[in-house]
Amino acid sequence: MFDFLKIKKHFEVVSPMDGEIIPISEVEDDAFSQKMLGDGVAVVPTSGLVLAPVDGKVAQVFDTLHAYGICSDNGVEILIHVGINTVELKGNGFKSFVSNGQKVKKGDKIAQVDIDLLKEKGYSLQTPVIITNIDSVKNPGYHLGNAKSGQTVIISYDK
């Protein structure tokens, strides 16, 4: 009834990798491009360092080290999926610096990826960064173009 009295807070997700931010609709995987897993953007990385995009807790480090789930301090769930079909590499070319349940701050190092190996083996480098519980946010905004890891805002939203 008194929703107008609620204080809205504005939050930001920064790029986990250096590179170009593209719309999620351009990702070469239907599960992402059709927003089956959530909504967001994708990074086409120029380097292999992966940083935490928000303050929060690591909810999941996939066994193959190609994807990371982070639950932000405000309850928003972020999925970083490095490359397309890279699960097939079974961890080859990936190194993780975090574990399940670990607290992270925006900009903390979470992984290193050998992007030259991914290219050599023919994998797309497109790295979706999505909010998997998108219904929990209001007014999501997506920011495209060149991004610096740990600094450039790629998704903004209200809660």
Q: How many CB atoms lie within 10 A of CB 142?
A: 18
Catalytic entry in 10, 66, 81, 143: 81
Q: Following DSSP, what letter does each residue of 66-82 receive, concatenated? A: SEEEEEETTS-EEEEE-
Give the contacts of 135 (CB within 8 A, at least 6 positions apart).
none
Q: Are the beta carbons of 109 and 97 closer than 8 angstroms?
A: yes
66 is catalytic: no
Compute φ and ψ for 86, nearest 5 degrees.
-70, -10
**Token reading at 146:** 């060149």
- Cα gap 66→73, rounded to integer Å: 23
Catalytic positions, written as ranges? 81
